[in-house]
Structure 1
């Protein structure tokens, strides 16, 4: 075990990854401002749908969120340069974690992955070569790292891809109807719009997605298939970037290849002046027990979280319970209709409530089909009415359509959601049971 984990290897994989990762998270910070993401998601709304339990995390007032993201961009650049690396990486990790937890209207799996990678990078010795820190401090400079550093990054990526594949093993994906649904909005895409409407293209997207996610890490690990897998990765992720426009995630995923190529190959291609480390020393640190314990707990959680939806009642596609933090990527399309009613305590009359007055356009689109956001909206309505001196019950009449299915009733319209607690670890009974075949229209 000591030889496997603590044998020192050349650190060029980690060093190059730091440079690329720092550049990408800087682009994420500055790009979120330039693309209008900060404005639409954090500035325009009066409040954000935070992760339940983190209600204290709300956007800074006025234009401060623009400065917040600009500062993150600066931290990213300093990470790339390796200047005061741990401090700047910690600051970015903390600030990005706050952004991630303060809003769900723009939920995306790559935001979660970026958060995990940021925190991992805080503790990894990524600034010991090709960095300002190493140039300024000769004692810090080193051309090697323990092997566990690289293994941690590979295992994290492997978990993401594997669960990304497994989550697609359900009828709506296996019969290519969900990819077909996604491609309907791509008709006008330059050059490829027509091809994306073809039935064969939908089947290709469905099964290439399954097998790419399942096999890419093993193929990159095996030397004989590494280059072919890397070329396939470039094509796959550039396709996703062009078709789905999902920010830095495809480029970050292509950069994962740095974990798999040999130090000799990377040195020859990128840092020819770097002398390769070949001693292979086994240095067991005195913090070995703590390290093994922390990493074991971390990966048990990472492996366990995506499985938790099996312990909830009903289908996760319907309830969303256990959906987040589970690498359920690009799996389903949901649409909803919502009517909100309020009833002042002590009266019998229900009145229709215009909930749109509380939400931005982006929030209006995302709230209708997600139970946790419906529950949070009920709490907000109750608070807004309490400020006017009215104690109200809030009833949500939500109907949703999943994939190619029909609209079905999601919430019990007779339950006062404002009075209901939110259950993190068990099913919320006001979410009505799904109907058989809810995600697919019956064949004629």
Structure 2
């Protein structure tokens, strides 16, 4: 165990990744302001659909979020330069974690992955070379790192890709339905739009997606296939960047290759002045037990959380219970329509409620197919009405369609959602059972 975890290896890959990662997270922060993401998700809304239990983060909403993201961007630049790294990296991780937990409307799996990587990087000695810290404080300078630093990064990436592949093993992905639905919205793209509508192209997208996620890490790990895997990775992620426009995620994924190439190769190409470490010393730290315990618990959660939906009643594709934090990326197309009713508990009078007045555009579209957001909206309506002196029950008549199928009733309209409790690891009976073949295009068959 000591030889596997605490043998020292060259740290060229880690310090290069730190520089690239810092650039990307700084770009994420400043880009969120420039593209209007901060305005749409954290300034304009009166409230956000935060992760349940993190309601206290609502106090941060408003124009102050611009300064918040500027500060994050500055921390990202500090990480890139390796300046005050031991402060800047945890600071960015903390601020980004709050952003992630603050809202679910603009949800993207790379936000979750970025949060995990930020915290992992906060543990790693990524500033020991090629950094301002090493320049200004020569005593911390080192050309090596313990091997566990590399192993935790590779394992995290491997978990993400493996679960992303396995999640695609279901009928609507395998028969090309999902690719067809996603590509339909890309038909107006310059030059490639018509190409993406071809059936054989959509077939390739379907199965390359499964195979890439399943085999890319083994391809990169094996020296004989590493360059092939890297070339495939670059093409795959650049294609995703152009077609799906998912921010920094494709470029962060390309940068993962730095974990797999030999230090000799990286040093010759990028840091020719750096000393190549080859001593292979085994240095066991005093905090060995704590380190092993922390990462063992962490990876048990990383392996366990993505399979928790199997312990819920009904299909996760319908209920969404267990969907988040599970690397279920771009797996379904889901939409809904909603009618909300409030009933005065004192008079029994029931009236249709204008819930749209409480929401901004993105929130109106996203909440209808997600039970946790539906429940949160009911709680918010009850709170808003209570501030007016009204004690109300909240009922919702919601219908959803999945992957281009028919609309089906989704929520029990006779349940007062405002009086229900939320259980993170238990099925909610007010979610109606999934109809047979609800995610098939039965209307066209």
Q: TM-score, normalised by structure 1?
A: 0.99
- Is the aligned partner of 1:24 residue 2:24? yes
- Is the aligned partner of 1:88 residue 2:109? no
- Structure 1 Cα separation of the partners of residues 290 and 381 of structure 2: 47
Corresponding residue for residue 358 of structure 2: 358
Report if aligned partners of 1:43, 1:59 keep a CA contact under 8 Å in 2. no
Deviations 1:417-441 (A, max 9, x none): 0000011111011000001111012
- Structure 2 Cα separation of the partners of residues 345 and 76 of structure 1: 51
- Structure 1 Cα separation of the partners of residues 36 and 61 of structure 2: 17
Match of 2:139, SS state, is coil
Unaligned runs of at least 5 residues, structure 2: none
- Structure 2 Cα separation of the partners of residues 164 and 62 of structure 1: 35
Deviations 1:42-88 (A, max 9, x none): 11100100000111112635421011001100000000001110100
Shift of 1:31: 0.2
Corresponding residue for residue 248 of structure 2: 248
- Is the aligned partner of 1:392 residue 2:392? yes
Match of 1:246, SS state, is coil
Shift of 1:404: 2.1
Corresponding residue for residue 420 of structure 1: 420
Deviations 1:220-245 (A, max 9, x none): 00000000110100000001001100
Shift of 1:136: 1.2
Unaligned runs of at least 5 residues, structure 1: none
Corresponding residue for residue 406 of structure 1: 406
Report if aligned partners of 2:398, 2:409 keep a CA contact under 8 Å in 1. yes
Corresponding residue for residue 219 of structure 1: 219
Report if aligned partners of 2:403, 2:441 keep a CA contact under 8 Å in 1. no
- Is the aligned partner of 1:234 residue 2:241? no
Corresponding residue for residue 148 of structure 1: 148
- Structure 1 Cα separation of the partners of residues 416 and 61 of structure 2: 31
- Is the aligned partner of 1:72 residue 2:44? no
Corresponding residue for residue 125 of structure 1: 125
- Structure 2 Cα separation of the partners of residues 43 and 2 of structure 1: 50
- Structure 2 Cα separation of the partners of residues 76 and 59 of structure 1: 24
- Structure 2 Cα separation of the partners of residues 55 and 239 of structure 1: 37
Runs of at least 4 residues off by over 3 Å: none
- Structure 2 Cα separation of the partners of residues 394 and 222 of structure 1: 57
Q: How many matched pairs?
A: 444
- Structure 2 Cα separation of the partners of residues 224 and 371 of structure 1: 47
Corresponding residue for residue 47 of structure 1: 47
Report if aligned partners of 2:44, 2:62 keep a CA contact under 8 Å in 1. no
Corresponding residue for residue 60 of structure 2: 60
- Is the aligned partner of 1:9 residue 2:2? no
Corresponding residue for residue 178 of structure 1: 178
Match of 1:396, SS state, is strand
- Structure 1 Cα separation of the partners of residues 270 and 58 of structure 2: 42
RMSD: 0.8
- Structure 1 Cα separation of the partners of residues 377 and 404 of structure 2: 27
